[in-house]
Structure 1
Amino acid sequence: MKKLSVLFAAVVMLLSVGVKAQKVASLDVATILNMMPEKKKADDQLEAYSKAKQAEIQKAGESTQAIFQKYQEEAPKQTAEVNKTREAELQKMQADLQAKSAAAQKDVADKTNTTFAPIEAKFNAAVEKVAKANGWDFIFDANNPSLIYKTGPDATSLVRKELGL
Protein backbone atom coordinates (compact mmCIF):
# COMPACT_ATOMS: atom_id res chain seq x y z
CA MET A 1 0.00 0.00 0.00
CA LYS A 2 2.85 2.33 0.89
CA LYS A 3 4.55 1.62 -2.48
CA LEU A 4 1.31 2.45 -4.29
CA SER A 5 0.96 5.85 -2.59
CA VAL A 6 4.63 6.68 -3.31
CA LEU A 7 4.14 5.70 -6.96
CA PHE A 8 0.97 7.83 -7.14
CA ALA A 9 2.80 10.85 -5.67
CA ALA A 10 5.64 10.44 -8.17
CA VAL A 11 3.19 10.29 -11.11
CA VAL A 12 1.34 13.39 -9.88
CA MET A 13 4.63 15.31 -9.57
CA LEU A 14 5.74 14.30 -13.06
CA LEU A 15 2.41 15.28 -14.55
CA SER A 16 2.28 18.62 -12.75
CA VAL A 17 5.73 19.57 -14.07
CA GLY A 18 4.66 18.84 -17.65
CA VAL A 19 1.32 20.66 -17.48
CA LYS A 20 1.32 24.19 -18.80
CA ALA A 21 -0.65 26.81 -16.91
CA GLN A 22 -3.89 27.52 -18.71
CA LYS A 23 -5.00 31.12 -19.20
CA VAL A 24 -8.69 31.51 -18.49
CA ALA A 25 -11.16 34.38 -18.89
CA SER A 26 -14.87 34.84 -18.39
CA LEU A 27 -17.41 36.35 -20.75
CA ASP A 28 -20.96 37.63 -20.24
CA VAL A 29 -22.45 35.94 -23.30
CA ALA A 30 -26.06 37.00 -22.70
CA THR A 31 -25.18 40.68 -22.38
CA ILE A 32 -23.18 40.70 -25.59
CA LEU A 33 -25.78 38.79 -27.58
CA ASN A 34 -28.54 41.11 -26.35
CA MET A 35 -26.49 44.12 -27.45
CA MET A 36 -26.07 42.85 -31.01
CA PRO A 37 -28.51 44.61 -33.37
CA GLU A 38 -28.70 41.46 -35.49
CA LYS A 39 -30.04 39.50 -32.54
CA LYS A 40 -32.62 42.13 -31.67
CA LYS A 41 -33.84 42.11 -35.27
CA ALA A 42 -33.87 38.30 -35.35
CA ASP A 43 -35.83 38.15 -32.07
CA ASP A 44 -38.47 40.49 -33.49
CA GLN A 45 -38.73 38.51 -36.74
CA LEU A 46 -39.02 35.22 -34.89
CA GLU A 47 -41.65 36.57 -32.53
CA ALA A 48 -43.77 37.76 -35.47
CA TYR A 49 -43.30 34.43 -37.26
CA SER A 50 -44.25 32.48 -34.14
CA LYS A 51 -47.35 34.60 -33.57
CA ALA A 52 -48.44 34.05 -37.19
CA LYS A 53 -48.06 30.28 -36.80
CA GLN A 54 -49.99 30.38 -33.50
CA ALA A 55 -52.79 32.35 -35.17
CA GLU A 56 -53.04 29.74 -37.94
CA ILE A 57 -53.33 26.92 -35.40
CA GLN A 58 -55.84 28.85 -33.30
CA LYS A 59 -58.01 29.54 -36.36
CA ALA A 60 -57.97 25.87 -37.32
CA GLY A 61 -58.78 24.91 -33.72
CA GLU A 62 -61.74 27.29 -33.60
CA SER A 63 -63.06 25.86 -36.87
CA THR A 64 -62.80 22.32 -35.51
CA GLN A 65 -64.48 23.37 -32.26
CA ALA A 66 -67.39 24.98 -34.16
CA ILE A 67 -67.96 21.82 -36.18
CA PHE A 68 -67.76 19.71 -33.01
CA GLN A 69 -70.42 21.84 -31.30
CA LYS A 70 -72.65 21.71 -34.37
CA TYR A 71 -72.37 17.93 -34.54
CA GLN A 72 -73.04 17.61 -30.80
CA GLU A 73 -76.22 19.65 -31.09
CA GLU A 74 -77.43 17.67 -34.11
CA ALA A 75 -76.39 14.23 -32.76
CA PRO A 76 -79.75 13.36 -31.12
CA LYS A 77 -81.56 14.05 -34.41
CA GLN A 78 -79.19 11.94 -36.55
CA THR A 79 -78.93 8.23 -37.13
CA ALA A 80 -76.25 6.17 -35.42
CA GLU A 81 -74.50 5.69 -38.76
CA VAL A 82 -74.35 9.45 -39.44
CA ASN A 83 -73.08 10.11 -35.89
CA LYS A 84 -70.41 7.45 -36.32
CA THR A 85 -69.30 9.02 -39.61
CA ARG A 86 -69.20 12.46 -38.02
CA GLU A 87 -67.21 11.14 -35.07
CA ALA A 88 -64.64 9.67 -37.45
CA GLU A 89 -64.52 12.99 -39.30
CA LEU A 90 -63.93 14.87 -36.05
CA GLN A 91 -61.15 12.48 -35.05
CA LYS A 92 -59.49 13.05 -38.42
CA MET A 93 -59.82 16.81 -37.99
CA GLN A 94 -58.28 16.57 -34.52
CA ALA A 95 -55.38 14.51 -35.87
CA ASP A 96 -54.88 17.04 -38.68
CA LEU A 97 -54.87 19.86 -36.13
CA GLN A 98 -52.22 18.08 -34.05
CA ALA A 99 -50.13 17.48 -37.17
CA LYS A 100 -50.40 21.17 -38.13
CA SER A 101 -49.38 22.16 -34.61
CA ALA A 102 -46.34 19.86 -34.70
CA ALA A 103 -45.40 21.15 -38.16
CA ALA A 104 -45.71 24.75 -36.96
CA GLN A 105 -43.44 24.03 -33.98
CA LYS A 106 -40.89 22.43 -36.30
CA ASP A 107 -41.10 25.41 -38.68
CA VAL A 108 -40.48 27.85 -35.82
CA ALA A 109 -37.53 25.79 -34.56
CA ASP A 110 -36.04 25.55 -38.07
CA LYS A 111 -36.51 29.28 -38.64
CA THR A 112 -34.87 29.99 -35.27
CA ASN A 113 -31.85 27.84 -36.13
CA THR A 114 -31.52 29.40 -39.58
CA THR A 115 -31.91 32.94 -38.28
CA PHE A 116 -29.42 32.62 -35.42
CA ALA A 117 -26.73 30.68 -37.34
CA PRO A 118 -25.00 33.76 -38.82
CA ILE A 119 -25.29 35.64 -35.52
CA GLU A 120 -23.70 32.73 -33.68
CA ALA A 121 -20.94 32.47 -36.30
CA LYS A 122 -20.14 36.21 -35.99
CA PHE A 123 -20.11 35.98 -32.19
CA ASN A 124 -17.89 32.88 -32.16
CA ALA A 125 -15.45 34.47 -34.62
CA ALA A 126 -15.14 37.55 -32.38
CA VAL A 127 -14.60 35.43 -29.27
CA GLU A 128 -11.96 33.34 -31.03
CA LYS A 129 -10.14 36.45 -32.29
CA VAL A 130 -10.12 38.07 -28.83
CA ALA A 131 -9.01 34.82 -27.17
CA LYS A 132 -6.11 34.36 -29.57
CA ALA A 133 -5.08 38.02 -29.30
CA ASN A 134 -4.93 37.78 -25.50
CA GLY A 135 -3.50 34.27 -25.27
CA TRP A 136 -6.49 32.80 -23.44
CA ASP A 137 -6.90 29.05 -23.59
CA PHE A 138 -10.43 29.02 -22.20
CA ILE A 139 -13.26 31.51 -21.89
CA PHE A 140 -16.18 30.56 -19.68
CA ASP A 141 -19.65 32.05 -19.79
CA ALA A 142 -19.93 34.19 -16.67
CA ASN A 143 -23.66 33.41 -16.46
CA ASN A 144 -23.16 29.65 -16.25
CA PRO A 145 -24.46 28.50 -12.86
CA SER A 146 -21.97 25.61 -12.73
CA LEU A 147 -19.08 28.09 -12.65
CA ILE A 148 -18.30 28.35 -8.97
CA TYR A 149 -15.09 30.33 -9.03
CA LYS A 150 -14.30 33.23 -11.30
CA THR A 151 -11.05 35.09 -11.41
CA GLY A 152 -8.84 36.46 -14.11
CA PRO A 153 -9.65 38.81 -16.93
CA ASP A 154 -13.16 39.42 -18.25
CA ALA A 155 -13.36 39.20 -22.05
CA THR A 156 -16.79 40.87 -22.32
CA SER A 157 -15.54 44.37 -23.15
CA LEU A 158 -13.01 43.12 -25.71
CA VAL A 159 -15.59 40.99 -27.53
CA ARG A 160 -18.05 43.91 -27.51
CA LYS A 161 -15.30 46.11 -29.00
CA GLU A 162 -14.53 43.47 -31.65
CA LEU A 163 -18.22 43.38 -32.61
CA GLY A 164 -18.41 47.17 -32.64
CA LEU A 165 -20.96 47.34 -29.82
Structure 2
Amino acid sequence: MKKAIKLTLAVALMLSATSLFAQKFGRINSQEILLAMPETKEMETNLQAYAKDLQDNLETIAVEFNQKLADFQKNYATYSDSVRQLKERELQELQNRRQEFEQVAQQDIQKKQQELLTPIIEKAKAAIDKVAKENGYMAIFETGSLAAFDEAALTDLAPQVRTELGITDAPAAQ
Protein backbone atom coordinates (compact mmCIF):
# COMPACT_ATOMS: atom_id res chain seq x y z
CA MET A 1 0.00 0.00 0.00
CA LYS A 2 2.83 2.39 0.91
CA LYS A 3 4.57 1.55 -2.34
CA ALA A 4 1.41 2.39 -4.32
CA ILE A 5 1.14 5.77 -2.58
CA LYS A 6 4.82 6.49 -3.20
CA LEU A 7 4.49 5.46 -6.84
CA THR A 8 1.38 7.63 -7.30
CA LEU A 9 3.14 10.56 -5.68
CA ALA A 10 6.22 10.09 -7.88
CA VAL A 11 4.09 9.94 -11.05
CA ALA A 12 2.17 13.06 -9.99
CA LEU A 13 5.42 14.93 -9.36
CA MET A 14 6.83 13.89 -12.73
CA LEU A 15 3.67 14.95 -14.55
CA SER A 16 3.60 18.35 -12.82
CA ALA A 17 7.32 18.86 -13.55
CA THR A 18 6.91 18.04 -17.23
CA SER A 19 3.83 20.24 -17.52
CA LEU A 20 5.83 23.10 -16.01
CA PHE A 21 8.50 22.70 -18.67
CA ALA A 22 5.83 22.68 -21.38
CA GLN A 23 4.70 26.17 -20.36
CA LYS A 24 5.81 29.16 -22.38
CA PHE A 25 7.39 32.18 -20.73
CA GLY A 26 8.11 35.52 -22.31
CA ARG A 27 9.76 38.81 -21.56
CA ILE A 28 9.10 42.39 -22.54
CA ASN A 29 10.56 45.81 -21.96
CA SER A 30 7.30 47.70 -21.49
CA GLN A 31 9.15 51.01 -21.07
CA GLU A 32 10.57 50.62 -24.57
CA ILE A 33 7.11 49.83 -25.92
CA LEU A 34 5.59 52.87 -24.19
CA LEU A 35 8.29 55.17 -25.52
CA ALA A 36 7.79 53.88 -29.07
CA MET A 37 4.03 54.45 -29.05
CA PRO A 38 2.91 57.50 -31.05
CA GLU A 39 0.45 58.28 -28.25
CA THR A 40 3.40 58.84 -25.90
CA LYS A 41 4.94 61.41 -28.20
CA GLU A 42 1.57 63.17 -28.48
CA MET A 43 1.19 63.04 -24.69
CA GLU A 44 4.61 64.66 -24.22
CA THR A 45 3.70 67.45 -26.65
CA ASN A 46 0.39 68.07 -24.86
CA LEU A 47 2.07 67.98 -21.46
CA GLN A 48 4.75 70.44 -22.56
CA ALA A 49 2.09 72.83 -23.87
CA TYR A 50 0.16 72.51 -20.60
CA ALA A 51 3.32 73.15 -18.56
CA LYS A 52 4.24 76.13 -20.75
CA ASP A 53 0.84 77.69 -20.14
CA LEU A 54 1.31 77.33 -16.39
CA GLN A 55 4.86 78.66 -16.66
CA ASP A 56 3.60 81.71 -18.57
CA ASN A 57 1.10 82.41 -15.78
CA LEU A 58 3.85 82.06 -13.21
CA GLU A 59 6.05 84.48 -15.14
CA THR A 60 3.19 86.98 -15.27
CA ILE A 61 2.95 86.90 -11.49
CA ALA A 62 6.74 87.26 -11.20
CA VAL A 63 6.74 90.29 -13.54
CA GLU A 64 3.96 91.90 -11.51
CA PHE A 65 5.89 91.25 -8.31
CA ASN A 66 9.12 92.67 -9.75
CA GLN A 67 7.36 95.80 -10.99
CA LYS A 68 5.73 96.42 -7.63
CA LEU A 69 9.00 95.73 -5.82
CA ALA A 70 10.88 98.18 -8.06
CA ASP A 71 8.16 100.80 -7.52
CA PHE A 72 8.29 100.19 -3.76
CA GLN A 73 12.07 100.52 -3.64
CA LYS A 74 12.02 103.62 -5.84
CA ASN A 75 9.39 105.43 -3.78
CA TYR A 76 10.25 104.00 -0.36
CA ALA A 77 11.39 107.33 1.07
CA THR A 78 8.24 109.14 -0.07
CA TYR A 79 5.79 106.64 1.51
CA SER A 80 4.30 107.28 4.91
CA ASP A 81 4.61 104.47 7.46
CA SER A 82 1.05 103.27 6.87
CA VAL A 83 1.47 103.24 3.05
CA ARG A 84 4.86 101.52 3.42
CA GLN A 85 3.31 98.78 5.59
CA LEU A 86 0.45 98.38 3.13
CA LYS A 87 2.88 98.05 0.19
CA GLU A 88 5.07 95.56 2.11
CA ARG A 89 2.01 93.46 2.94
CA GLU A 90 0.92 93.61 -0.71
CA LEU A 91 4.36 92.45 -1.85
CA GLN A 92 4.37 89.61 0.71
CA GLU A 93 0.89 88.48 -0.38
CA LEU A 94 1.93 88.56 -4.03
CA GLN A 95 5.04 86.49 -3.25
CA ASN A 96 2.92 84.00 -1.26
CA ARG A 97 0.46 83.79 -4.17
CA ARG A 98 3.33 83.06 -6.54
CA GLN A 99 4.68 80.28 -4.30
CA GLU A 100 1.23 78.73 -3.89
CA PHE A 101 0.63 78.90 -7.64
CA GLU A 102 3.98 77.23 -8.29
CA GLN A 103 3.14 74.35 -5.92
CA VAL A 104 -0.34 73.89 -7.37
CA ALA A 105 1.07 74.06 -10.90
CA GLN A 106 3.55 71.27 -10.15
CA GLN A 107 0.74 69.12 -8.75
CA ASP A 108 -1.44 69.93 -11.77
CA ILE A 109 1.35 68.89 -14.15
CA GLN A 110 1.75 65.57 -12.33
CA LYS A 111 -2.02 64.97 -12.41
CA LYS A 112 -2.19 65.87 -16.09
CA GLN A 113 0.72 63.53 -16.86
CA GLN A 114 -1.02 60.68 -15.04
CA GLU A 115 -4.29 61.50 -16.78
CA LEU A 116 -2.64 61.42 -20.20
CA LEU A 117 -0.41 58.41 -19.48
CA THR A 118 -3.03 56.05 -18.00
CA PRO A 119 -4.83 55.25 -21.29
CA ILE A 120 -1.48 54.72 -23.03
CA ILE A 121 -0.35 52.25 -20.36
CA GLU A 122 -3.71 50.48 -20.53
CA LYS A 123 -3.44 50.18 -24.33
CA ALA A 124 0.08 48.75 -24.09
CA LYS A 125 -0.97 46.32 -21.35
CA ALA A 126 -3.96 45.18 -23.40
CA ALA A 127 -1.68 44.52 -26.39
CA ILE A 128 0.79 42.57 -24.22
CA ASP A 129 -2.06 40.55 -22.71
CA LYS A 130 -3.52 39.84 -26.16
CA VAL A 131 -0.19 38.68 -27.60
CA ALA A 132 0.47 36.54 -24.51
CA LYS A 133 -2.98 34.93 -24.67
CA GLU A 134 -2.90 34.34 -28.44
CA ASN A 135 0.49 32.66 -28.19
CA GLY A 136 -0.16 30.65 -25.03
CA TYR A 137 2.34 32.33 -22.70
CA MET A 138 1.90 31.42 -19.05
CA ALA A 139 3.86 34.41 -17.73
CA ILE A 140 5.51 37.51 -19.11
CA PHE A 141 8.46 38.98 -17.21
CA GLU A 142 9.50 42.62 -17.33
CA THR A 143 13.00 42.99 -18.76
CA GLY A 144 15.32 44.73 -16.35
CA SER A 145 13.20 44.11 -13.27
CA LEU A 146 14.75 43.08 -9.98
CA ALA A 147 13.68 39.46 -10.38
CA ALA A 148 16.45 37.10 -11.38
CA PHE A 149 15.82 35.08 -14.52
CA ASP A 150 17.64 34.17 -17.66
CA GLU A 151 16.34 36.69 -20.19
CA ALA A 152 17.94 34.79 -23.07
CA ALA A 153 15.84 31.72 -22.23
CA LEU A 154 12.62 33.73 -22.51
CA THR A 155 10.93 34.75 -25.74
CA ASP A 156 10.98 38.50 -26.36
CA LEU A 157 7.41 39.59 -27.08
CA ALA A 158 8.34 43.14 -28.05
CA PRO A 159 8.22 42.57 -31.84
CA GLN A 160 4.76 41.02 -31.64
CA VAL A 161 3.46 43.70 -29.27
CA ARG A 162 4.90 46.43 -31.49
CA THR A 163 3.05 44.89 -34.45
CA GLU A 164 -0.15 44.64 -32.38
CA LEU A 165 0.13 48.35 -31.52
CA GLY A 166 0.98 49.33 -35.09
CA ILE A 167 4.46 50.57 -34.21
CA THR A 168 6.61 50.34 -37.32
CA ASP A 169 9.76 52.25 -36.39
CA ALA A 170 12.82 50.44 -35.07
CA PRO A 171 13.16 50.09 -31.30
CA ALA A 172 15.16 52.79 -29.54
CA ALA A 173 18.73 51.91 -28.58
CA GLN A 174 19.10 51.14 -24.91
- Given that 1:24 and 1:136 are in contact with CA atoms closer than 8 Å, whether structure 2 keeps it comes out as yes
Residues 133 and 64 of structure 1: is their aligned pair in 2 closer, same or farther, counting only changes over 3 Å? same
Query: Which residue is 1:86 aligned to?
Result: 87
Counterpart Cα distance in 1 of 2:32 and 2:53: 28
Query: Which residue is 1:164 aligned to?
Result: 166
Shift of 1:110: 2.2
Query: Which residue is 1:39 aligned to?
Result: 40
Query: Which residue is 1:64 aligned to?
Result: 65
Counterpart Cα distance in 2 of 1:143 and 1:124: 17
Counterpart Cα distance in 2 of 1:115 and 1:49: 11
Structure 2 residue 98 is the aligned partner of structure 1 residue 97: yes
**TM-score (structure 1 length as normaliser):** 0.77
Partner residue of 2:157 out of 148, 155, 158: 155
Query: Which residue is 1:4 aligned to?
Result: none
Q: Which runs of 5+ in 2 are unaligned?
A: 1-12, 168-174
Counterpart Cα distance in 2 of 1:75 and 1:136: 75
Counterpart Cα distance in 2 of 1:85 and 1:112: 40
Structure 2 residue 75 is the aligned partner of structure 1 residue 74: yes
Counterpart Cα distance in 1 of 2:111 and 2:39: 18
Counterpart Cα distance in 2 of 1:113 and 1:148: 30
Q: Which amino acid aligns with 2:27?
A: S
Query: Which residue is 1:9 aligned to?
Result: none
- Secondary structure at 2:156 match in 1: coil
Query: Which residue is 1:124 aligned to?
Result: 125
Residues 128-148 of structure 1 deviation map (CA, whole Å, 9 limit, x = unaligned): 11222333343233244x355
Shift of 1:47: 1.0
Residues 143 and 53 of structure 1: is their aligned pair in 2 closer, same or farther, counting only changes over 3 Å? farther
- Given that 1:29 and 1:143 are in contact with CA atoms closer than 8 Å, whether structure 2 keeps it comes out as no
Residues 59 and 30 of structure 1: is their aligned pair in 2 closer, same or farther, counting only changes over 3 Å? same
Counterpart Cα distance in 1 of 2:59 and 2:71: 18
